Amino acid sequence: MTHAAITGWGKCLPPAVLSNVDLAGLLDTSDEWIVSRTGIHERRISHVPLEELGYVAASRALAAAGMRGGDLELIVFGTCSHDDQVPNMASGIQARIGAQAAAAVDINTACTSFLYGLSNATALIRTGVVRNALVIGAELICDGAAAVVLEATQREQGVLAEKLGCYGEAREILRVQGMGGRYANRGVLYGVTRWQFEGQEIFKRAVQGMCTASESALSRIGLKPDDVDLVVPHQANLRIIEAVAKRTQIPMARVYVNVQRYGNMSSATVPVALCEALEEQRVRPGALLLMPAFGGGLSYCAHVVRWGDRTTPLAESNAALPANQRPARQIIRDVLEAKTRPSPDSLA
């Protein structure tokens, strides 16, 4: 049987840090309030477009796998915060890394986009449509990006089982207005977002979905929580992560957490956490990983992944972001001012 092993990985995090104290200078909140409810202490703010983050992460993942862009057959870009919806983000990465022969597709299931992309790429490798793939998760919400390279193998590696699902009947409890055409005549300026967020209900659905999916994915291949070496969950909220660990009876010592450093980077949380777990030697050769997540929609999923023999990159990429001199608060102010300033097209 053909499997899709993860052979390369790379991340890209913008350097500007927005602390809770900084955020309290922009919004009516406080460090104590944020930490007590989410576990988040700070997050990154990008000074570049999303494509730039994705490109650097992709370049590093390719180097880690010992591959060139021209070797790729498929690029899957998971995001809900596109630079452009048309053309798609994946095609921009294809052009930047010289992957002329690769198919390029975007996936938007909000915070689960990377893992849904991992399922799609794995399935195409298993069925022989492609022999390898690059899967990216990147966002400009709390900002960051990471990518993995998949390659066909006959060894039992990569995604062994997964469960995908969606609470479509509850989709209204997590909505971002101003990011679609339906708001054009409803008093919401396109690109100026309003968040509809019912926290308590989202919490319940998130824990339920991640736990149910985890149990289902493990049972499909005859495994139990005790067999899991490390859980690499979606990093939305520390309380959600702790609730999932408790319900699945997996000790927090076997759960990787970095939400305190980056906040909820949506589709980028799982791949960034995976990269950092590898850097910190939390992933050993042959380890069994569990990756649960939930997102707007309300999509949910869990993936059981068998790691390969290698936990260090084959090579390093020299790809890097352009230098930035602006603090995070100034970047945010500049973006807000640009959104309220009339564009040249609107004045034509």
Catalytic residues: 111, 234, 264
Q: Which residues pair with 127 in a beta bridge?
A: none
Two tokens at 263?
């906040």
Going by C-alpha positions, the residue among 109, 26, 34 that lies closest to residue 259 is 34
What are the two backbone dihedrals, phi and then psi, of residue 123, each rounded to the nearest 5 degrees? -65, -40
Alpha-carbon distance 254 to 178, whole Å? 39
Q: How crowded is the C-beta side of 125, counted as CA atoms within 13 Å?
A: 30
Two tokens at 6?
């993860």
Alpha-carbon distance 95 to 54, whole Å? 12
Q: Are 118 and 217 in contact (CB under 8 A)?
A: no
Interacting residues of 206 by C-beta distance below 8 A, sequence separation 6+: 236, 237, 240, 294, 298, 300
Going by C-alpha positions, the residue among 233, 229, 321 that lies closest to residue 284 is 229
Alpha-carbon distance 223 to 308, whole Å? 18
